[in-house]
Structure 1
Amino acid sequence: MIPDMTELPVPLARDWDFPRSAHGVRHLLGYARTRGLDPAALLVGTGLGLDDLTTGGVREVTAAQELRVVRALRHRLPDAGAAVGATYDAGSFGALGYALLTSRTVGDAVAVALRFIDLSFAFVIPRAEVEDDHVVALLDGAALPADVRGFLVARDATAVRTVLDALVPGGVGATLSLDPERAVLRFAVAELSRPLAGGDQRRRALAEAVCRDLAADRRSATGLPQEVRVLITQRLGEGAPMPVVAAALGRTERTLRRQLTAAGTSYRALLDEVRRSLAASLLRAGLPVADVAVRLGYAESAALVHAHRRWTGRTPGASRGAVPTVHVPDDETTPQGREAHRLRP
């Protein structure tokens, strides 16, 4: 809620370097296809393949991986930033998009977008304020690499205006001024009070709860340890060997070990953490223990049994189908659980 329509939340994300849903890269590859480009060519150097980005593939990518795809697309289509931005809609953003569409008013939608901007694909973090009778959003790209700055400012600012205008019939009358460094979007403050046709308090609460869970996971750690977690998850099926992850980060194994120690952790601890979290999710979903072991990169089920006893004091079989302890039910046998599962990107 926006008190008196005069205050807007400050985004919790302060910069662009945070883990992202893999849907952001999928969207860029989809746009590339419409322009006759080879999507595989955009993935060169990312450590990702087309198979990784199919349904059931990786769920998260690092900012560096997505930025490399952006850079490859911009190299081939240098003036396409705004055109790419115009292809987004609320449905592009999973749970965040659903929270937007089920908001009571435009103001509620703007507020939830700002609070959970790190669940979008944005590299340019908007700052919005009410100035007299207008909402003014500044998207400053100064912190971005110079070679992709103009492309991303145009893309992200156009996406914001496109999604915002689609919330209500006729749009909100937003004007957008663009330059290579930054963009300014403005519209009448009275538009914040306009109701959305799909406003639904229950559904909005559910979507926002999913957003909170997702954001909490991504905000739980920052910097190098978080990048390592994402890369371990991507390579877990092959055991996530440390030399492979180190190479993906442009580091030697020795350097990565030293930097993780300085950050108060270790590669083994992060690998164990990722495996434990994913094991809980997969076992809760009812997957056979042998299948979970393969997904976690174990050579045999016995290794998973041993690790699971160390983590929980129980066998993996005792955890299969257990009731999850999360803010939103994951049980797909209930309407709420099915909807929450569908919202998760």
Structure 2
Amino acid sequence: MSTVQEAGIRDWDFPRGVASVALMAGFAREHGVPAARMLQGSGLTEQALADPDAQIDAHTELAVIRNLVRELGHRPELGLEVGRRYRITTFGIFGFACVSSPTLGEAITFALRYLELSFTFCIPVARWQPGEFVARIHDERIPADVRRFLVERDVTAMYQMLCDLVGHRVDLVRAEFDFRTPERLDLYTEIYGLRPDFEQPHNLFVLDPEVLDKPLPQANEHTWAMCLAQCRELVSRRRARTGIAAEVRERLVPRGGVDGFAAPPGIDAVARDLNMSTRTLRRHLDAAGTSYRQLLDEVRRALAEEMLTATPLSVSDVAIRLGYAEASTFIHAFKRWTGTTPSAYRRGAITAVIR
């Protein structure tokens, strides 16, 4: 039996910070390419790269990536060279949350849930199965002209993060890429500790699942909780909904607040209210990078947190008001959203108020 965990996002078109662009501009500068050429057509300035709070859209970073490939694409292992530069500290609070996680497995689960706080263009899907942990790297939606570079960059960055988390090289069981075998394999074996297989159906790497349960050397429960809260807040700000997603979300939020909340309308009812077919609504939401289920989860989570902190309702009552048939299903969903149970969340909120 296997367990699959998908990322919290399905596409690379999400807002991001400038740290990745700054890293690539620095790499290019070391190889004789001035920042002006790297930033050409992106709308960015060198001053903007120094602002840790600056936000850009993914297409802006993509413009810089195309400049990098144009200027230095003659280097046969460019993606690997750049990818190994990404370290835990490159990722800010996202990286600190990973490094303070209890185990490598929990760090991976967190990273998938909050993947939009990274700089990736490749979307990983994790599968836990007997004897191995498989991370399949999806690149289907990446533009063809930069696809190989981004596969090499992102897979190497992911692997580098795993090594940083445990404090030493993580032994891979195998690694596979879907492009043809490079002429030189030195850097691949140097970085990954093995010779990957090429011309395979998918891009993926495989770990021994036992390594996922080992405590991380810098695990800290207090720091992890603090980082989780900051990451949730950051994601909420970035997920300001517009367009069709905003219209659907508006129909899922109860008019009378938590007191007026009943079972949420299904997607068919929402589609009828928007004067479109269910299939059309699904297509529009997919194009917006979200889904009915994801929006419903966002609404349910916000309402659950409000009811647990502002009302005396039992966990079972909260579950019923959110439209769950059983409290156990709600508890499982809440733990997936927040990393803790509803009861523990309520105790933590009460403790914070008392303090």
TM-score (norm: length of structure 2): 0.59
| Matched-pair contact (CA < 8 Å) for 1:81–1:155 | yes
Unmatched runs of 5 consecutive residues or more in structure 1: 227-262, 264-345
Q: Does 1:52 align with 2:48?
A: yes
* Paired AA for residue 126 in structure 2: A
Partner of 1:212: 232
CA shift at 1:74, angstroms? 1.0
Q: Where do residues 57-76 of structure 1 align in structure 2 (5 Å cutoff)?
A: 59-76=54-71
CA shift at 1:59, angstroms? 1.0
- Mark the CA change 1:131 to 1:222 in structure 2 (over 3 Å): closer, same or farther: farther
Tell me which of 192, 201, 207 is aligned to 1:187: 207
CA shift at 1:65, angstroms? 0.5
Structure-2 separation of matches of 1:179 and 1:223? 36
CA shift at 1:86, angstroms? 0.7
* Paired AA for residue 62 in structure 1: D
Partner of 1:221: 241
- Mark the CA change 1:225 to 1:10 in structure 2 (over 3 Å): closer, same or farther: closer
Structure-2 separation of matches of 1:176 and 1:81? 16
Structure-1 separation of matches of 2:101 and 2:233? 18
Partner of 1:283: none
Tell me which of 25, 28, 50 is aligned to 1:29: 25
Structure-2 separation of matches of 1:223 and 1:197? 44
Structure-1 separation of matches of 2:244 and 2:17? 18
Structure-2 separation of matches of 1:70 and 1:224? 30
* Paired AA for residue 222 in structure 2: R
- Mark the CA change 1:8 to 1:53 in structure 2 (over 3 Å): closer, same or farther: same
Q: What secondary structure does 1:186 align onto?
A: strand
Tell me which of 167, 171, 174 is aligned to 1:173: 171
Q: What secondary structure does 2:166 align onto?
A: coil
Partner of 2:154: 156
| Matched-pair contact (CA < 8 Å) for 2:86–2:157 | yes
| Matched-pair contact (CA < 8 Å) for 1:100–1:112 | yes
Q: 1:21-41: per-residue Cα shift (whole Å, max 9, x none)?
A: 111211111211222211221
State the Cα RMSD in Å: 2.5
| Matched-pair contact (CA < 8 Å) for 1:8–1:111 | no
| Matched-pair contact (CA < 8 Å) for 1:154–1:183 | no
| Matched-pair contact (CA < 8 Å) for 1:91–1:97 | yes
CA shift at 1:170, angstroms? 3.5
| Matched-pair contact (CA < 8 Å) for 1:142–1:182 | no
Identity %: 36
Q: Does 1:77 align with 2:75?
A: no
Structure-1 separation of matches of 2:25 and 2:214? 35
TM-score (norm: length of structure 1): 0.60
Q: Where do residues 85-100 of structure 1 align in structure 2 (5 Å cutoff)?
A: 85-100=83-98
Partner of 1:300: none
CA shift at 1:183, angstroms? 1.9
Structure-2 separation of matches of 1:25 and 1:169? 26
Q: What secondary structure does 2:205 align onto?
A: strand
CA shift at 1:222, angstroms? 6.0
Partner of 1:125: 123
Q: 1:43-90: per-residue Cα shift (whole Å, max 9, x none)?
A: 11111111222236x610111110000011011222301111111111
Unmatched runs of 5 consecutive residues or more in structure 2: 180-200, 247-283, 285-355
| Matched-pair contact (CA < 8 Å) for 2:3–2:129 | no
Partner of 2:134: 136
| Matched-pair contact (CA < 8 Å) for 1:141–1:182 | no
Q: What secondary structure does 2:227 align onto?
A: helix
Structure-2 separation of matches of 1:67 and 1:169? 31
| Matched-pair contact (CA < 8 Å) for 2:80–2:152 | yes
* Paired AA for residue 202 in structure 1: H
Q: 1:164-223: per-residue Cα shift (whole Å, max 9, x none)?
A: 122224433124222349521110111111111110000001111111111111122268
